[in-house]
Amino acid sequence: MTATLEKLSPWLFTIGIFVFWEAVCRVFKVDKFILPAPSEAFMAMAQYWRPLLRHSLVTLWTTMAGFALAIVFGIVLGLIVGWSRTIYRGLYPVMIGFNCIPKVAVVPILIMWFGIGEIPAILTAFLISFFPIVVNVATGLATMEPELEDVLRALGASKLDIMLKVGIPRTQPYLFGSLKVAITLAFVGTVVSETVGANAGLGYQIALSGSTFQMPLVFAALLLLAIEGIAMYAAFAYVEVYFTRWAFRSSMSAAAQ
Amino acid sequence: MTASVDIGAVTLTYRGASGGVLALQDTTLNIQRGEFAAVVGPSGCGKSSLMKLVTGLVPPDSGEIVIFGDKVHGPVKIAGMAFQNPNLLPWRKVIDNVLLPLEIVRPHREQFRRRKQEYREKARALLKTVGLDGFADRFPWELSGGMQQRVSLCRALIHEPALLMLDEPFAALDAFTREELWCVLRDLWQKLSFTVILVTHDLREAAFLADTIHVMSARPGRIVLSKKVDLPRPRDLDICYEPQFTNIVHELRAKIAEVRKA
Ligand SMILES: Nc1ncnc2c1ncn2[C@@H]1O[C@H](COP(=O)(O)OP(=O)(O)OP(=O)(O)O)[C@@H](O)[C@H]1O
Ligand SMILES: [Mg+2]
């Protein structure tokens, strides 16, 4: 009984929020130019499904492209940073500084360099999402048990041996844990870029409909964005459990969260 | 007999932000080939540091260490080690944890692919001798603490090291499991006849297992007493209740109480 309730609870809460939202809009007769009711947003979704689908797909693929870049770059940089303390100390302030720059401020530069279109969106998604990956991969390497390292070194293991046999496998839960966070950031990056300058994508749709006061359509696009985000998060959460089942069972699971 | 481990007047200082810590000063220690040596002493006196020096993981400030006739420069590349924490790799099955040293130590690492079947048999046989028959294909987190510690012992011994270094390997176990593992270690040592250095806080453990017990002073550590244990072998757990055994434990206890006060 409680188990099924727990399984259903995400759905119940989601429906509950929509019902509440709908009720507030109706009871207080909220103007739909200010806050459209969910029913109006869903109606707009049905009415404009063709352009919305097209824009959703554009946002999805640009996000995934940027995210793929972030994974590759994040793993490589994370391994480099985790490899040596000197590099770690040298690069860390630079990376923190870079991460503090609001990516909205970078988008106009990217548009100047690459023109309006999908490339700035891909790059913004990449720039915003690689940081957590780097930090997690580097943390996975840096938190290796010193005694285990001693055991291996006393056998004549080189630093590369230790990396391959212990460092990289033990980084996996940290990496997969970071992916589900990073993917949601990547969506933020894409949409920010599309809102500033693009001719397709959900961010573009939001900016366009907003400027013509089609609020139900704006909310329809926002909802689609949330759905894409949840779907990708769920996908990567699944991948995480699948590849690092051992970490969920052993004591490392606490560290990987 | 030839000396297998020769520690000659080593001094070790750890440098830290708030000044250095003199961990070992003029420590001298000789261990014969095939001997079972135990090191006891107050906490923080430098026992673990001594282990790191012997395995070449840390260089001494002065003095020298000779192992099987060779002066130690870098990591010794042959020693098996086990610590209080089993430190197993949770993503590897028990048998693959045991096989890890063979993937690293020469000449096994070059032959690992070719002789994999043979190595696996060997690992299974070793697991059997420590009573882990049938657990080879489990993951470490499916095992109890005592069982994990047995796996850790197997991992330290799979490549048949000439030197086994144990740093409080049984400290985290309950009394029954601990005594059980004493016997496991005793039997392995009698069968494979390697040289052992065992660091422990348990004087009964030292007296039961070792040929010689070295007592260290408080920091900076020096050897203040080397006590031969003349109990006949093979030893049985019952020996722990004989007066001769109790006398040795008392003598060690008195010595440690003395150096702690000093
Ligand atoms: N990596 C290190 N850096 C700085 N100081 C250290 C380091 N390792 C050990 N020390 C210092 O050296 C001294 C000896 O440490 P060591 O770990 O060898 O003691 P121990 O005899 O093994 O103690 P215990 O019985 O508690 O395990 C301690 O005072 C400790 O503070
Ligand atoms: Mg210690």
* Nearest ligand to the CA atom of B52: 1
**Tokens representing residue B234 in the block:** 């093979």
* B141 within 8 A of B97, measured Cβ to Cβ: no
pLDDT value of residue A253: 40
Domain that holds residue A155: 43-249
- In this structure, what CATH number is given to the domain that contains residue A195? 1.10.3720.10
Order the strands of the B3-14 sheet from edge to edge. B21-32, B3-14, B62-67, B70-71
| DSSP per position, A4-24 | HHHHHHHHHHHHHHHHHHHHH
The whole-number average pLDDT for the span A151-175 is 91
Q: Write the CA distances from A99 to A60, A95, A180, A247, B184, integer angstroms.
A: 23, 6, 18, 29, 54
The number of domains in chain A is: 1
- Work out whether strand B21-32 and strand B62-67 pair parallel, antiparallel, or are unpaired: unpaired
| Chain B: residues touching A (Cβ < 8 Å) | 52, 55-57, 75-83, 85, 87, 89-91, 100-101, 103-106, 139-141, 155-156, 159, 165
The whole-number average pLDDT for the span A88-93 is 87
In a domain, residue A33? The reply is no
To the nearest 10 degrees (0 to 180), the angle between helices A118-142 and A103-114 is 130
**Which ligand 1 atom sits nearest the alpha carbon of residue B52?**
18
When pLDDT is cut at 50, 70 and 90, the band that residue A257 belongs to is very low
**Tokens representing residue A190 in the block:** 């894409």
The whole-number average pLDDT for the span A190-206 is 91
Look at ligand 1, atom 29, and give the residue with the nearest C-alpha.
B44
Quote the ipTM score: 0.86
In a domain, residue A228? The reply is yes
pLDDT tens figures, B164-180: 999 999 998 888 889 98
Could you give the CA distance from residue A170 to residue B148 in angstroms, rounded to a whole number?
18
pLDDT value of residue A132: 92
pLDDT tens figures, B218-238: 888 889 999 999 988 889 999
Percentage of chain A with pLDDT > 90?
63
**Tokens representing residue A77 in the block:** 């940089």
Ligand 1 site residues (CB inside 6 A) read B 14, 16, 21, 23, 43-49, 219
pLDDT for B110 beyond 90: no
Please tell me the distance between residue B184's alpha carbon and the centre of ligand 2 in angstroms: 22
CB of A110 within 8 Å of any CB in chain B? no
pLDDT value of residue A126: 96
Q: Please answer yes or no on whether B103 and A151 come within 8 Å at the CB atom.
A: no
* B41 within 8 A of B201, measured Cβ to Cβ: no
In a domain, residue A131? The reply is yes
Amino acid occupying residue A60: L
In a domain, residue A57? The reply is yes
The whole-number average pLDDT for the span A200-209 is 92
In a domain, residue A136? The reply is yes
In a domain, residue A21? The reply is no
pLDDT tens figures, A225-240: 999 999 999 999 998 8
Percentage of chain B with pLDDT > 70?
99
Q: Please answer yes or no on whether B104 and A156 come within 8 Å at the CB atom.
A: yes
**Tokens representing residue B259 in the block:** 């150096």
In a domain, residue A127? The reply is yes
pLDDT value of residue A250: 66
pLDDT value of residue A108: 92
When pLDDT is cut at 50, 70 and 90, the band that residue A256 belongs to is very low
